[in-house]
Amino acid sequence: MNSHLQGELQKSGYNLTTRETDLMTTPDIHAERILVLDFGSEYTQLIARKVRSAGVYCEVHPFDLDEAAIRAFNAKGIILSCDPDAEPLVADPQPVAAAYQLDVPLLSVGYEHPGLPAVARRIGAYDDSNTPALVENFVLQDCACQGLWTPANIIEDAIAKVRAQVGERQVLLGLSGGVDSSVVAALLHRAIGDQLTCVFVDHGLMRLHEGDQVMRMFAENMGVKVIRVDAEQRFLDLLKGVNDPEEKRKIIGRTFIEVFDEESAKLEGIDFLAQGTIYPDIIESVAIKHGKARVIKSHHNVGGLPEDMKFELVEPLKELFKDEVRKLGVELGLPREMVYRHPFPGPGLGVRILGEIRKEYADLLRQADHIFIEELRAAGWYDKTSQAFAVFVPVRSVGVVNDQRRYAWVISLRAVETIDFMTARWAHLPYELIEKVSTRIITELEGISRVVYDVSSKPPATIEWE
Ligand SMILES: Nc1ncnc2c1ncn2[C@@H]1O[C@H](COP(=O)(O)OP(=O)(O)OP(=O)(O)O)[C@@H](O)[C@H]1O
């Protein structure tokens, strides 16, 4: 609502609540919208992200979205995202015909649809170097969108929605220190302040100083209510003697849920559970629907929270891609190093200690990993790799350090470059950098006698070792 109208309302004695003002002053960032119809192209999400980064809201739907839904979407423009190498998936061209009949600009990426009308434009495969610019041009010029979809506006919109949903009630959030839950915490804190309580479960498989950093950042600096649960011993006891990777994951996932449940049961008057669900988690995949999805290892989720929890969900990031979540994080004042941190698996170091997990191994691995990441950052390689970490290999190897024979453990360094984590190439780090890291690890950590570098790409190797 414009400030004039607001002023008039106030003069006439109508005092708006904060919630009403929020809802009315936030620009409608969903008003301009692009519909992306996915014909099974692997570039669909890249195209959608390009539309978003041009400042325009868009949604991805399967190509066979029904006609009524296409009309109801009320798009300013439609993008058909096709796979140039595959037979077109259009079994029934009717829905696309509906898209053609609408009086809005159409853009077909990757495939020439039969009977493409004059209103439509066709461009080549998405990986042509000029395609991203064409997508942006299509959205801003052909569809005449203004670009309201900006981090600042998204935050305003999310805050207004959260306030409207939650009112005066209380929200619980599992804070892992990862990007998604951290951004949710910062956003909800801004929206509802003390009505947010976070529970951070320290399972003892975090990186060096990670638990303290989470507490410093959220509890001390930002004043967020965070309950830290030190559950290291409990996890270690349950993991004792367990070697099988799947079994380890299950124990960690199950125990996480138990601990989280126990903590939340101690809190009173909580009605909502916040989650860092993001848009790629909920996009209905054409590739999967048509059995074309590549088979990948089950995701390293800590297990997620049980569905029968009595809470209503608050999911303020569910419209956003990961890169948008990061931009929001920076806009909300979270430090860049945290927001642009490499992904970290839910079971933490548990999947980077091969076989049985012991505290002694976790402590060595934490130190080795810290040295590796510190040197990567110092050499300017951290942002050039997508994921980098150390792995504890429980094999003893002979070494001689300071004239002393040492029979100690092996650390493997792993660094990969990837766009989508579906495939990845081992990072070609400079030898000097690997040498420096190796020397530091072997001289600084008594329990390590040998460092190796993992030169396996994905596929066939996975990024994590377990
Ligand atoms: N150690 C933990 N303590 C509290 N909550 C956690 C912890 N680990 C995970 N969670 C919760 O479970 C959710 C899913 O965990 P998962 O490991 O799949 O992380 P994610 O989806 O990458 O999110 P994030 O970036 O927040 O870690 C997290 O977003 C968080 O809310």
Tell me the torsion sign for CA atoms 344, 337, 156, 195.
Answer: positive
Distance in Å, CA 346 to ligand 1 centroid: 6
Straight-line distance from the first to the last Cα atom of the chain, in angstroms, rounded to the nearest whole number:
53
| Separation between Cα atoms, residue 257 and residue 271, nearest integer Å | 18
**What is the position in ligand 1's atom list of the atom closest to the CA of 179?**
25
Residue 301 has pLDDT above 50, yes or no: no
Q: Is the ipTM of this complex over 0.95?
A: yes
Residue 276 has pLDDT above 90, yes or no: yes
C-alpha 42: how far from chain center: 18
What average pLDDT does the segment 282-290 reach?
Answer: 67
Question: For residue 439, what are the CA distances in angstroms to 198, 362, 401, 436?
Answer: 40, 20, 11, 5
C-alpha 247: how far from chain center: 25
Please name the residue whose Cα sits nearest to atom 29 of ligand 1.
181
Does residue 175's CB lie within 6 angstroms of at least one atom of ligand 1?
yes
Instruction: List, for residues 210-233, the tens digit of each pLDDT value.
Output: 999 999 999 999 999 999 999 999
Question: For residue 67, what are the CA distances in angstroms to 30, 98, 128, 181, 285?
Answer: 21, 6, 31, 37, 19
C-alpha 48: how far from chain center: 16
pLDDT band at 114 (very low <50, low <70, confident <90, very high): low
Question: Which runs of E-coded beta strand occur in 96-153?
Answer: 106-109, 120-123
Question: What type of residue is 3?
Answer: S
pLDDT band at 376 (very low <50, low <70, confident <90, very high): very high
pLDDT band at 99 (very low <50, low <70, confident <90, very high): confident
Distance in Å, CA 302 to ligand 1 centroid: 7
Please name the residue whose Cα sits nearest to atom 9 of ligand 1.
176
Residue 381 has pLDDT above 80, yes or no: yes
Which has the higher per-residue pLDDT, 297 or 5? 5
| Separation between Cα atoms, residue 155 and residue 151, nearest integer Å | 6
DSSP 111: S
**Residue-range domains of the chain with CATH:** 33-142 (3.40.50.880), 151-339 (3.40.50.620), 352-453 (3.30.300.10)
Return the structure tokens found at 240: 């004792």
pLDDT of residue 299: 38
Distance in Å, CA 176 to ligand 1 centroid: 5
